[in-house]
Chain A
Amino acid sequence: MSDLLALAVQVAEQAQAGEQVEAYVIRGTELSVEVSGGEVEQLSSATSEGVGLRVVRDGRVGFAWSGSLDPTLVAETLLDARDNAAFSTPDEHAGLAGPDGVEAADLDLWRDDVAATPTVDKIALAAEVERRVLDDPRIRSLRSAEYQDGRTEVAVATSTGIAATRRGTSAYLSCFAMAGEGDGTTTGGGLSFGRSVADLDIERVVGDAVTRSTRMQGAVKPSSATVTVVLDPSVAASVLALVASLCNGEAVHKGRSLFGGRLGEQVGHPMLTLVEDPTNPASSGAAAFDAEGLATRPTPLIEGGVLRSHLYDTRWGRAAGRPSTASATRSFKGTPGISARAVAPSPGTLTHEEVLAAVGEGLYVQSVAGLHSGVDRISGDFSVGCEGLMIRNGALAEPVKECTIASTLLRMLSGIVHVGADLEWATGSCARLTLAIDDLSLGGT
């Protein structure tokens, strides 16, 4: 047993009669390096740890956390959580997870090279990104060139029989480039993510930042029109992640999602299938256990455009009369929430270029802004700022900026006209692929 799990179990065992106790313990080591002018500008390195304790008695929930695993503080935190429980309102659905018989996937998300690679080699990666981006004469400067990695271990134990632990590594290489001068400044970023330092793709980071910043040069505000849009894979992933968030069982229960009461209904084009599956080791959100210690499992959210399932943790599953889908997520500073970790859309058959060619005329959306403030999860009203390039004769044409695209989420989901074959995993809770959607309002001049 890892020392972290031993600590979690030891705390959970202190449950008194008539009481349930859950300990969520985390320890992480992070390194972050920012390079400028070929030299380290900032290097930050540290190990951090924390514990979140939940106590349930007579349907009353109390919570307390500590940013230290010091035994005295952990003991005080348990007393705090117990005391807090006394003030909450009894809730018939309150309670901790218990073993549900689902076997955990055997995921190996740990790569030794994250710890073993010398820091100088990690610094060199960021320095190389900076140098190669600046090699392009069209690039004025970089806002950042960064390398980051982390090693995280999590343990959850409850007095109801849960004892789970998982660990994983991650590494990121990113930069943000600027092209042009003054009012003509345009920006673009590049990012590569992997479990291992060896997974990082310098070519990709450099290429994306340069292409994305330079192709926006000379962008103007477009004329207002009704258009077919092709979403860049990164934008499609953000929009589909938002769609998956509408499946949140708590939001559904509280009447805060337009997917409430729609199970079994057609909510999108038959081409649309979304499956939440954290057992897929290729996904960045892969995890064998959720934040309550239940084994993760695949959950179809939308199949052939039909809404199939909502997502639950233990408490909101009970409220809905359903088992948890092992979708609890959290930091040690709070009680669990519900979130998808690894949503995979079913890819189509067309390549990125073939989607553009098939659409013929429209707007290619390179990036959106205000996705969270601009979407109403209850009414589905959708309005975001965007920049991108017009599509003419089936290919990318002149760049446009300072415009909006607007519609409603349900209209967009049923208006899907092409799904790309170019599925890939990057950061975020949804895989990326090219997505074409009909009939959006483009707001410009």
Chain B
Amino acid sequence: MIEEQVLARVLGAALRGGGEFAEVFAEDRRSSSARLEDAKVEELTSGRQRGAGVRVVAGRTTGYAHTADVSEAGLLAAAEVASAAARGGGVATRVVDLDRRRPVGAQAVGVPPEEVPKARRVELLLAADEAARRGRSPINQVSTSTADGRRRTLIANSDGLLVEDDVTRTRFGIQCVARGDTGLQTGHRSVGASMGFELFDRWDVEQLAAEAAESAITKLAARPAPSGVMPVVLAAGGGGVLFHEACGHGLEADLVEKDTSVFRGRVGTKVASSLVTLIDDATVTGEWGTFAVDDEGAPAQRTVLIEDGVLSDYMWDLVRARRAGRPSTGNGRRETYQHLPMVRMTNTFLAPNPGTTLEDLIGEVDHGVFCATLGGGQVNTATGDFVFGMTEAYLIEGGRITAPLRAANLIGNGPQALLDIEGLADDFDMGWPGTCGKDGQGVPVGMGIPSLRIGGLTVGGTAR
């Protein structure tokens, strides 16, 4: 992307004003998407973005500047701005020797999206649309979409690191609306992976379409959700977002350092039911949050965060890790070259528990809720309090799933929910591809859980 000698000169310039660390992050990104609404191709979109950011760290101060101009002149101008922002004392000239490293676990793309004809995208969407409607008269709206992107990155820093990564991601989603006497209800399915169009060998879009349609139709018979505190069973995959938001964020070292995490000072202590092992792992082949090197050049890593209920480590990026005198865990990520990296999750999941089944978890509940999928939510990381919408949920009565429920919010506290996990099953699913937002930056993340039961969460229904 950028010549080695140019990078070395830019890093040298970035350190000219003092500062102990400098980095160039360059990115070239292409993306395309297609959307079908009611059997019509609403639009095909394609986009590209290229640019670089220069970061300079001096003491506790970080300066950053980015540019779409990746010529040497453009990079030197950015280096000057970043360096001025982080003016420290000290050294005048430093020569940076770059050592090019090969990333381990670089992605092998089966069917590169850029080689897939646009007509093929349209065909896939049409097939899904048709499958959703086939034999289902209540379905009156279907929208389907596919999106793919290739992101190439280069990271060079004053420690001599020079490394590149190249990640392709592809996703597909469908939303069906069913109309009945009780109004309109929606059903969704979404799949995504760090791979090319071989995604569609792994997933059958017609099968996903049928599931989304059936989910919408089932909800037509939904009754108002109950309100109050009750046991909640989360389905494998479908509730991963809760642990990502309400626990994962609190284990990010930047929040811990800022004293805005409930998990600060808790390493080595019991923070969860002893059934709980929580892992962040960017090395799982093909998962949505997978990469070979993070956006600071650290190799992707598997980090056990909670083991058998005991907090074992936080997630770290380069700057915080340097300050703490320890290695990064490869969790430094950024949305684009226009953003500073910070501690982010990759694929975060709870490990399954052999010997228990979903039926066991439900069978022990007299009155509660089975939540198949959670939608959007909000968490206050300083307190761990969360709210999530249940997009597909059912009532549990006498140990059996009885009736579908209308949308309602689930309210609780993340750390408390971890302690209140009464049972985990042997099943496991990574759930839907997610985009995690933090301080205005979105990055792709995987979120997985086995089916599990939490002793008590507040369900905010309207049934009086």
Contacts and interface: CB of A to CB of B under 8 A. Distances in A.
Interface of A: 36-37, 39-50, 61-68, 70, 73, 77, 80-81, 83-85, 87-89, 91, 119, 140-141, 143-144, 178, 182, 185-187, 224, 254-256, 333-335, 369-370, 372-374, 376, 378-379, 381, 383-385, 401-404, 406-408, 441, 443, 445
Contacts of B464: 441
B387 A80 contact: no
A65 B338 contact: no
Given A373-B377, A443-B460, A378 B229 contact: no
A138 to B, nearest CB: 15
A42 B64 contact: yes
Given A88-B41, A89-B40, A374-B389, A406 B460 contact: yes
Contacts of A224: 227-228
A119 B121 CA distance: 49
A62 B44 contact: yes
B51 interface: yes
Closest 5 CB pairs of A and B: A373-B389, A67-B49, A404-B460, A370-B387, A385-B387
B47 A383 contact: no
B7 to A, nearest CB: 19
A44 B65 contact: yes
Nearest to A90: B40
Contact of A68 (B53, B68, B86, B387): B68
A404 B411 contact: yes
A373 B387 contact: yes
B304 interface: no
Nearest to A374: B409
A370 B41 contact: no
Interface stretch (B231-239, B285-293, B378-386, B393-401): B378-386
Interface in B23-69: 34, 37, 39-51, 53, 59-68
Contacts of A374: 387, 389, 407-409, 460
B184 A67 contact: no
Given A178-B382, A369-B378, A406-B462, A333 B409 contact: no
Interface stretch (B166-174, B199-207, B256-264): B256-264
Given A41-B62, A187-B383, A384 B409 contact: yes
A254 B38 CA distance: 10
Contacts of B338: 46, 48
A178 B260 contact: yes
Nearest to A406: B462
Given A372-B376, A383-B462, A407-B462, A87 B44 contact: yes
B16 to A, nearest CB: 17
Contact of A91 (B39, B40, B65, B259): B40
Interface in B263-305: none
A224 B229 CA distance: 11
A48 B27 CA distance: 14
B409 A373 contact: yes
Contacts of B62: 41-43
A91 to B, nearest CB: 7
Given A369-B386, A404-B227, 7 more contacts: A39-B59, A39-B61, A335-B45, A384-B409, A402-B411, A404-B460, A443-B227
B183 A73 contact: no
Contact of A64 (B47, B376, B387, B413): B47
A385 B60 contact: no
Contact of A41 (B41, B61, B184, B458): B61
B85 interface: yes
Given A37-B60, A84-B45, A385-B460, A49 B388 contact: no
Contacts of A77: 48
Contacts of A87: 34, 41, 44, 118-119, 121-122
B375 interface: yes
B46 A45 contact: no
A369 B413 CA distance: 13
A49 B68 contact: yes
A255 B143 CA distance: 13
Interface string B433-464: 00000000000000000000000001011101
28 contacts: A36-B258, A40-B85, A41-B62, A42-B340, A43-B61, A43-B86, A46-B53, A46-B64, A46-B78, A48-B338, A61-B43, A62-B44, A66-B48, A81-B46, A85-B44, A87-B41, A143-B260, A185-B383, A187-B380, A256-B177, A370-B388, A374-B460, A383-B460, A383-B461, A402-B411, A402-B413, A406-B461, A443-B460
